[in-house]
Structure 1
């Protein structure tokens, strides 16, 4: 009888520990989601060829500040693998921004392809502007004019992927910024 009671006590303790672990994980995930950085992103395309991407950290207040590890201009959702062999290398295709806007290369913390900016730190309630320029057809796209290229992306949003850190936590945020007609 005592063996059965001991086994029952062990089983109850094991289930209780598993339940506690599950509840702890749920609470940790909920807390992580509550602390997710909230950004206001606007594109001010006052000029035909250049724009300003305004990145404003709106909250939550308890974060204080966030390190933005990177903001990457993401591509449209088309498969580009078929372009290999048309004069473009795999690196050319990967580095080319397939969308309406890219960061202006080598300005502030931007890479040479105009794809990625960062790292930088923002305090809650503060923002940072980034200079952007219209994308152009790749050098291998013979016969394609700038106007034809831009017409393809007219009205398409600027797709961004942001990686942020604060207090030992990390978030990856995908955002689409409206690209108003010019």
Structure 2
């Protein structure tokens, strides 16, 4: 013990204190980082909730009607009017698509011709009239167009066609006057997440 000087002892004590200070500083830094991470996570969560709330409040509002061209006609006119919210002002793209009836069709049939015809059948009362307003070949979709608040989109419809294995009389009974046209309405506006809306629209006769 006589070989140990006070200088060595003080140096050792100083080293220990230095280690303690470094450990304390590292712990404080780690705690600060953890707190910052929690604060960032909380801020992100709050921002996400706010974005979702704002996105919900800005859901486009449409009035959608489908009217036959005349009693007994196999054609109809779809009118979609953009009614709000006022703060949205405009939509860069509005795309329309006719949905199927929601049932599974063609179970157990695997031939390519059958599957092709199955995919090309619209399982509902109407389709977009092919070749009019850019409607797709089978009349399922109408291409996206811009629309301003108070503006409208008008599209021509015609009765859908049954697949070759289905009797037309049965088809008309299944998708008769009371069967609604089921629609997807997909909306996009720069700076917003897209909206996808659904509508079930009854077809009505023209008013006198």
State the TM bucket, normalised to the shorter chain. 0.7 to 0.9
Aligned length: 179
Residue 8 of structure 1 is matched in structure 2 by: 31
- Give the unaligned 5+ runs of structure 1: none
User: How many angstroms apart in 2 are the aligned matches of 1:83 and 1:176?
Assistant: 29
Q: How does 1:4-153 map to 2 (within 5 A)?
A: 4-47=27-70, 48=72, 49-82=74-107, 84=109, 88-138=113-163, 140-141=164-165, 144-145=167-168, 147-153=169-175
Task: Give the superposition deviation at 1:152.
Answer: 0.4
State whether residues 94 and 147 of structure 2, in contact with CA within 8 Å, keep that contact through their aligned partners in structure 1: no
Larger radius of gyration: 2
Q: CA RMSD in A?
A: 2.3
Does residue 168 of the first structure (1) align with residue 194 of the second (2)? no
User: How many angstroms apart in 1 are the aligned matches of 2:165 and 2:114?
Assistant: 12
- Give the unaligned 5+ runs of structure 2: 1-23
Residue 179 of structure 1 is matched in structure 2 by: 203
State whether residues 128 and 140 of structure 2, in contact with CA within 8 Å, keep that contact through their aligned partners in structure 1: yes
Q: Report the TM-score, using the length of structure 1 for normalisation.
A: 0.87
Please, which moves more after superposition, 77-86 or 163-172? 77-86
Q: Report the TM-score, using the length of structure 2 for normalisation.
A: 0.77
The structure in which a higher percent of residues are helix is 2
Q: SS at the partner of 1:141?
A: coil
CA deviation map 1:130-179 (0-9, x unaligned): 111111212x225x12x321110121211111221112332222221123
User: How many angstroms apart in 1 are the aligned matches of 2:198 and 2:28?
Assistant: 53
User: How many angstroms apart in 1 are the aligned matches of 2:99 and 2:37?
Assistant: 46
